[in-house]
A and B are shown apart, each in its own frame.
Chain A
């Protein structure tokens, strides 16, 4: 056993405290925006009628203006696994809205994150091993360039080139509009076809960071004495590169990788908006615009929980992969 129960309890306790703070902030932040959804709706759709405002407030559970009351109600609901009812989707519950959006985000962002790390790391390893080569210089230049280009810019360029001018891919959306009459195989094909450009964009846009971090880490590791010793021992290049070099260089990237996994659930707002993709990012963005408190809370809760859980896993796994980490 590499870690003791005190370490475990500390990490768990820290995760719970973080979760509680996140839940409380989730409750407070949307309410700091000003304006209430019932009044806005009544003004827009019911001539500002105060009767309708009253009825809507009762419907939304906003009839008691006390923040403390609303907070207690929110916590109580959460403890019962109830995320509440979305205002903008009323009477649909928040959970239903999130469940609909989650698969799209998972499919695209998770795939893109995994592929981006894999490709980024492989390029980084090769670049560091052959530092100064044409491959290293060109990937380094490209990585710096991509790292400095805004995310949405890449998405828009790709849409204009591949969708508008070359017409290889659709302009956006997640599936073909007529998908309901497709066979199961065609449905899968349609999903993959529509997901290609968003996933590809996400990979390209996030790749640079992974290449640079791993390349620099590996460069540092390669200059260590034990690498020289390994070479002197006559170990093969592949063994030195992967088992000695990359293994140690990957350690700092591991936490970054786990944090990225935690953020998968938050989606990629920009990509989802540019590609008209129906994921969690878009739902969250619209919820903020609509002052849809329960939905904002629900979506931030999902994000907070996933980030905290992934960080906790990283904390627990790290001592196993890096015994140098002090456990006390």
Chain B
């Protein structure tokens, strides 16, 4: 029987009930806690509807769906961390470069090709693509770029990636009318990656306002889509016919707003929306993909979910215990059963596959760091731990018993947590599960008031930043707030030295040093990685074609190539 002809309402209802019953998916896209609702949309979906070409004269509308809550459309100011849906800016604005996570490469947007480093590697000069124009028709100039970077200098809360932090930008200046020089106080080879994080805004519009409070209700960008309106059900964008990198083929882009992944997935199945930018009820994916018109693009990203281990806590400071935990995690099962194959295998050396040849990829499948409970037990016994009457290993009368924090209201996370704690029990490690809110998880991590904690760690698109979460400068003793993402309280003099050296080394040397760091991390197991979360983008191919699979298919650069069938 072909897909969709046999309807199974009861099964579908049951699945949808479970998915919504726990009211779990009511948050923004991007991490598995939101993307993975607890149950599958079981029944068969509607058969692929025949393409309905737009009638002559009617605009071609692409319907994208996403979980965009009311608090994500209260402003359209790309500098603000709150009140907006950050993916919106990719469609309406341009940065100098776009980080393409599918290929791990920088793609020039407002920059005209790759930038040039000065001989002392302390100045990076970027030529601008002056063919770009603002949506109101005004020309794009170097002044706009200067303004967009300098405003971060004067507003600390806006400089979220600390571009103006110590040892980084010292000055940004124009070189003639078509180039910008980024002067650094110290060598900082990762700078080009950070240039992807700043959207360029029109100086003429922003300088009249306080950038830290400007709501920008009528955003003007240079991007492939122009803002038209926002309502309770959608953000409506028009094509920018003058887009300097080529005008989109579709006339309008509707970003349909949902507040839970289950309804969004139903809309996708029904054909009401053609794709999402990453949100989908993961357990529904296998059924969704039975319909050949539905596709799922999966690529690695910058968020790695792990069992974060507090290396300063008693027993967890013992490498043998940490290694035992690392080897007790069946990462394959977590990916298949917990995340329905919508995530990427994680690297025990932590660096995401997105960084290509800087990654020590052999670590990913190396059995020395893979699931092996016998080896876990051997390690514990060799370190002098003995099983007590309850079957828990102990040393000096102290059993291996830890608190295990994870997020409440996150069914997929809780399912994975249950899998992990049962594996730990198998190797004689006892856990007491505690469920707290996401912000509280962060607070525990920052203060070091935890033993084992399941959460994701997200970094900017920069391998150095991703590995610096193991640098001792990013941590503080338990009880003191960590100044960076080294929540593990991990300290290793070699890792510090290699990372410091890499921060000013040439590209080849950096890769070598990064590999050394990754090997050391895999060996010392300051945390036990679960999986890497990048994109898992569902999209339909029955009405539209031309998706660029070398990019995230629903990114601005890919959608501008998409056309109606």
Bound-state Cα–Cα, A45 to B457, Å: 11
Bound-state Cα–Cα, A172 to B442, Å: 33
Report yes or no: A174 in contact with B82, Cβ–Cβ below 8 A: no
Bitwise, A281-297 to B at CB < 8 A (1) or not (0) is: 01101110111100000
Report yes or no: B254 in contact with A88, Cβ–Cβ below 8 A: no
A91 interface contact, C-beta 8 A: yes
In chain B, what residue has the closest Cβ to A175?
B233
Neighbouring A residues of B441 by C-beta, 8 Å: 35
Choose from B13, B160, B257 the contact partner of A52 (Cβ within 8 Å): B160
Q: A48-B483, A48-B484, A52-B160 are in contact. Are A35 and B440 (CB under 8 A)?
A: yes
Report yes or no: A160 in contact with B71, Cβ–Cβ below 8 A: no
Measured CB to CB, the closest approach of chain B to A173, in angstroms, equals 4
Measured CB to CB, the residues of A under 8 A from B are 33-37, 39-41, 43-56, 58-59, 86-92, 96-97, 100-101, 104, 150, 152-153, 156-157, 159-161, 164-165, 167, 171-180, 270, 272-276, 278, 282-283, 285-287, 289-292
Choose from A152, A180, A275 the contact partner of B21 (Cβ within 8 Å): A152
Q: A39-B443, A55-B157, A91-B215 are in contact. Are A157 and B82 (CB under 8 A)?
A: no
Report yes or no: B27 in contact with A174, Cβ–Cβ below 8 A: no
Bound-state Cα–Cα, A71 to B487, Å: 32
Report yes or no: B231 in contact with A40, Cβ–Cβ below 8 A: no
Neighbouring B residues of A173 by C-beta, 8 Å: 232-233, 256-258
Tell me the chain B residues, 437-477 only, with Cβ under 8 Å from chain A.
437-443, 445-446, 458-460, 465, 474
In chain A, what residue has the closest Cβ to B197?
A45
Bound-state Cα–Cα, A183 to B522, Å: 62
Neighbouring A residues of B487 by C-beta, 8 Å: 48
Bound-state Cα–Cα, A54 to B168, Å: 20
In chain A, what residue has the closest Cβ to B46?
A164
Q: A87-B82, A289-B438 are in contact. Are A47 and B460 (CB under 8 A)?
A: yes
What are 9 contact pairs spanning A and B, CB under 8 A?
A34-B439, A47-B162, A51-B165, A90-B80, A153-B21, A159-B16, A164-B270, A165-B9, A177-B256
Kindly state the interface size class of chain B when it binds its partner. 35 or more
Neighbouring B residues of A44 by C-beta, 8 Å: 442, 458
B26 interface contact, C-beta 8 A: yes
In chain B, what residue has the closest Cβ to A292?
B71
Neighbouring B residues of A104 by C-beta, 8 Å: 232
Neighbouring A residues of B484 by C-beta, 8 Å: 47-49
Measured CB to CB, the closest approach of chain A to B83, in angstroms, equals 5
Q: A59-B157, A173-B233, A180-B236 are in contact. Are A289 and B70 (CB under 8 A)?
A: no
Bound-state Cα–Cα, A52 to B17, Å: 41
Neighbouring B residues of A90 by C-beta, 8 Å: 80, 82-83
Report yes or no: B263 in contact with A91, Cβ–Cβ below 8 A: no
Neighbouring A residues of B267 by C-beta, 8 Å: 171
Q: A47-B162, A91-B215, A156-B16 are in contact. Are A270 and B23 (CB under 8 A)?
A: yes
Bitwise, B72-86 to A at CB < 8 A (1) or not (0) is: 001100001111000
Report yes or no: A291 in contact with B160, Cβ–Cβ below 8 A: no
Choose from B20, B74, B156, B266 the contact partner of A152 (Cβ within 8 Å): B20
Neighbouring B residues of A282 by C-beta, 8 Å: 26, 69-70, 259
Report yes or no: A36 in contact with B71, Cβ–Cβ below 8 A: no
Bound-state Cα–Cα, A54 to B81, Å: 14
Choose from B16, B256, B446 the contact partner of A39 (Cβ within 8 Å): B446
Neighbouring B residues of A35 by C-beta, 8 Å: 436-443
Measured CB to CB, the closest approach of chain A to B13, in angstroms, equals 5
B117 interface contact, C-beta 8 A: no
Beyond A33-B440, A47-B485, A160-B9, list 17 extra A-B contacts (CB 8 Å). A46-B161, A47-B460, A56-B157, A88-B83, A92-B83, A171-B267, A175-B233, A176-B233, A177-B256, A178-B61, A179-B233, A273-B20, A273-B259, A283-B70, A283-B71, A289-B437, A291-B437
Neighbouring B residues of A39 by C-beta, 8 Å: 439, 442-443, 446, 481
Measured CB to CB, the closest approach of chain A to B282, in angstroms, equals 19
Bound-state Cα–Cα, A33 to B437, Å: 8
Bound-state Cα–Cα, A179 to B378, Å: 65
Measured CB to CB, the closest approach of chain B to A327, in angstroms, equals 45
Choose from B81, B228, B234, B257 the contact partner of A41 (Cβ within 8 Å): B81
Bound-state Cα–Cα, A174 to B229, Å: 16
Most buried by A among B16, B156, B212, B441: B156
Report yes or no: B75 in contact with A46, Cβ–Cβ below 8 A: no
Neighbouring B residues of A285 by C-beta, 8 Å: 23, 26
Bitwise, B130-161 to A at CB < 8 A (1) or not (0) is: 00000000000000000000000001110111
Q: A89-B82, A152-B21, A172-B258 are in contact. Are A40 and B439 (CB under 8 A)?
A: yes
Report yes or no: B83 in contact with A91, Cβ–Cβ below 8 A: yes
